[in-house]
Amino acid sequence: MTGLEAIDEIRHKLEEKEINTLSEFATKSRYSKGRKEPEEECNIRTCFQRDRDRIVHSKAFRRLKHKTQVFLSPFDDHFRTRLTHTLEVSQIARTIARALDLNEDLTEAIALGHDLGHTPFGHCGEGVLNELVKGGFHHNIQSVRVVEVLEHLNLCRETIDGILTHTWGYTPHTPEAQTVQLADKIAYINHDIEDSIRAGIIVENDLPKDCIEYFSSHQSERLNKMIMEIIKNSYGKPTVSMSEEGWHYTTKLREWMFDNVYIDSPAKLEEKKARRVIKELFLLYTEMLKPICEESRIERIVTDYISGMTDRYAIEKFKEHFIPIGIQRGAKDEYLFKLANAYKG
């Protein structure tokens, strides 16, 4: 066999390795349900590896570095952003998938793509759009729109399903997607606790005592136990889930975070301003497009534009349109009009 022929066999060998070594419940790339638009296969990468690479190279992925996780535009570089959250979810999910002999490439692709459609200013921005958009706005649905329409990544159906269903209340159709759904929850609970302690909003001893006793008061030990609760409860089974007891304390910890950090805490003091930024831009752009677009298209275009913004870009656009700066230059929103001209439904 020549070197070129050997290269042509790499993907085939990887697919065979998956079939021979992964769990019987794992999603095998050779048996993927495929893409909406058929493509010629890569010689060296499986279809799920290609999905992962496309997501990492997407513009939406790069923008995550300047989107809020919980703390708006933090000056401290050690607070999480939407990008670092995504990387932590990916690492946790891969650890679980590897231990359970699931498809790590599919798991990673889903994890890296799960928040691509998230708004600026975190769930605050999502809440504003949800109020303004007919039928509501949900970042998981927008994430699917990003990969399917706005960036046209043409991902595999399994990857898209995992991105859509990472949010609680949806039912993932693969064990890899189930893994990401759980990894997302335990990632944000743990890193939001750490960030809240760093911000001085809470201290470790404020956490529910029974949760500390069950998981440990130490950050890494608590996270490790949550991961182990999933692995021990799921090994050799067709579905991925946490033990009933572990899930009880995880849910209690999550509810405590909502009561003490996510709602009406010092972490939320700037959200009223952030809400105004999103709302005013939405109303402004809606009016700007009326002379050039069909009314039925405007809301979709404006939603795509604003949801793709980073925190700082949204703030700059607000300043540009609403804060007097003297005679310098006109407002430029080229991408808004590019979306309007290229819109195909």
Tell me: do 171 and 310 sit in the same domain. Answer: no
For 184-211, write each residue's pLDDT tens digit. 999 999 999 999 999 899 999 999 999 9
Q: What is the CA radius of gyration of the chain?
A: 22
Tell me: do 236 and 281 sit in the same domain. Answer: no
Tell me: do 245 and 282 sit in the same domain. Answer: no
Tell me: do 216 and 283 sit in the same domain. Answer: no
Query: Could you tell me the residue range of the domain that residue 159 belongs to?
Result: 47-268
Token pair belonging to 214? 């069950």
Q: How far does Cα 110 stand from its chain's mean position?
A: 9
Share of the chain above pLDDT 90, in %: 83
Tell me: do 80 and 184 sit in the same domain. Answer: yes
Q: Diameter of the chain by CA atoms?
A: 71
**Residue located via tokens 């069950």:** 214
Token pair belonging to 291? 């002379």
Of 56, 60, 47, 37, nearest in space to 12 by CA: 47
Position 22 in a domain = no
- The answer to whether the Cα torsion of 294, 296, 299, 302 is positive or negative is negative
Q: How far does Cα 149 stand from its chain's mean position?
A: 17
Position 25 in a domain = no
Residue 101: CATH number of its domain = 1.10.3210.10
- Is there a contact between 114 and 182 (Cβ–Cβ < 8 Å)? no
Q: Which of 268, 290, 321 marks a domain boundary?
A: 268
Tell me: do 299 and 175 sit in the same domain. Answer: no
Q: Which of 208, 235, 268 marks a domain boundary?
A: 268
Position 14 in a domain = no
Tell me: do 259 and 139 sit in the same domain. Answer: yes
Of 185, 274, 290, 179, nearest in space to 230 by CA: 179
For 229-254, write each residue's pLDDT tens digit. 999 999 999 999 999 999 999 999 99
Q: Which of 268, 284, 314 marks a domain boundary?
A: 268
Number of domains observed in the structure of the chain: 2
Tell me: do 205 and 106 sit in the same domain. Answer: yes
For 12-65, write each residue's pLDDT tens digit. 999 999 999 999 999 999 999 999 999 999 999 999 999 999 999 999 999 999
